[in-house]
Copies of this chain bind each other. A is one copy, B any other.
Amino acid sequence: MATPFHTRLLAEIERKGTCLCLGLDLDPGRDSPLHDSTLASLREAAESIVEATWTQVAAYKLNFAFFERHGPDGYAWLAELAAFIGDRALIIGDGKRGDIGNSARHYAEAIFGVLGMDAATVQPIMGHDSIAPFIADPAKGAFVLCLTSNPGADDFQRHPPGEPFFMRVAAWAQSANRQKNIGLVVGATRPDDLDRIRKVAPDLPFLMPGVGAQGGDLEAALSAGRPAAPVLIAVSRGILYAGDGSLTNITGAVADYNTAIRAARR
């Protein structure tokens, strides 16, 4: 039987000694000594960053938007980069896909089968049959969007106030976690919500963006971790464009995050 995704995640965190997840969101509009706005230099920069960081991160998060904006060549880059990472770290395909059964099956095939990624972020709104194809293989994980940290999160996720949407998603995901391969995407900015979610979803790993450039609280985020249900601290800009954006500053930022993560764990 396949090793469940949760077990694979815990093993990788143990192997690397950190729950840091680096988002490879390279932005052609940013100043960086590693890249200009051309796809060729972005490709090279991404590989240099992986070479320099893979021993110090548990996972890479590839946000499909940053690849698709370059058109078909960008999608080819996504596949190439996933292959380049290989088994040096877990790969989270951050495409936030969501569609009905037949289409969802194709998306799962694209992310797990064709691109060979280890986990995917998925939309909850169409319900169980839209998520089923992403959790059919115990070895592959699905992080279901639960609560994000952007201003628009108030429009729908936090409504109605009594039993908000995000709590319903969390409870559903906990109940659907029969193969130990479901997690939640939880923004790292509001510790009180984090506690509420953890209460109804005690067995689910959290993928937590919002620490770093978006200004969350690392210690509060880490405190949501449990021995069998860890948090993944997802940082992108806060590492990729740390200091002058050089590899020295990138690896320095990774080391700083890891020091802070290990200090908080003690």
Interface residues of A (CB under 8 A from B): 25, 63, 65-66, 68-72, 74-76, 78-79, 96-101, 103-104, 106-107, 109-110, 113-115, 123-131, 145, 148-157, 159-160, 163, 165, 168-169, 172
Q: A69-B110, A160-B163 are in contact. Are A128 and B155 (CB under 8 A)?
A: yes
Interchain residue pairs with CB less than 8 A apart (17): A68-B106, A68-B107, A69-B109, A72-B79, A96-B99, A101-B150, A124-B125, A125-B145, A125-B157, A126-B148, A126-B153, A127-B154, A128-B155, A129-B150, A131-B152, A156-B168, A165-B165
A151 / chain B contacts, CB cutoff of 8 Å = 127-129
Residues of the B chain whose Cβ atoms lie less than 8 Å from the Cβ of A149: 100
Closest B residue to A152 using CB positions: B127
C-alpha spacing A132/B249, complex, angstroms: 34
Which residues of chain B are within 8 angstroms of A115 by Cβ–Cβ distance?
71
The residue that A150 contacts in the complex, of B97, B126, B163, with Cβ under 8 A, is: B126
Assuming the A-B contacts A150-B130, A152-B128, A156-B127, are A72 and B69 also in contact, with contact meaning beta carbons closer than 8 angstroms in the complex? no
A156 contact set on B, CB distance < 8 A: 124-127, 165, 168-169, 172
Alpha-carbon distance between A98 and B130 when the two chains are bound, in angstroms: 15
Shortest CB distance A15–B (Å): 29
Quickly give the copy total for this chain: 2
Query: How far is B150's CA from A169's CA once the two chains are assembled, in angstroms?
Result: 17
Contact indicator B63/A99 (Cβ below 8 Å): yes
Residue among A66, A104, A150, A159 with max Cβ neighbours from chain B (10 Å): A150
A72→B114 CA distance, assembly (Å): 9
A98 touches B123 (CB 8 A): yes
**How distant is the Cα of A113 from the Cα of B71 in the complex, in angstroms?**
9
Chain B residues within 8 Å of A107, by CB: 65, 68-69
User: How many Å lie between the Cα of A116 and that of B19 in the bound state?
Assistant: 40
Q: Are B153 and A99 in contact (CB under 8 A)?
A: no
Bound CA span A120–B168, Å: 28
Instruction: Name the residue on B nearest A109 (C-beta).
Output: B69
A100 proximity list for chain B (CB < 8 A): 148-150, 152
- Given known pairs A157-B127, A160-B163, the reply for A114 and B150 (CB within 8 Å) is no
Assess whether B127 is in contact with A150, with CB atoms less than 8 Å apart: yes
Nearest-neighbor residue (CB-CB) of A209 within chain B: B100
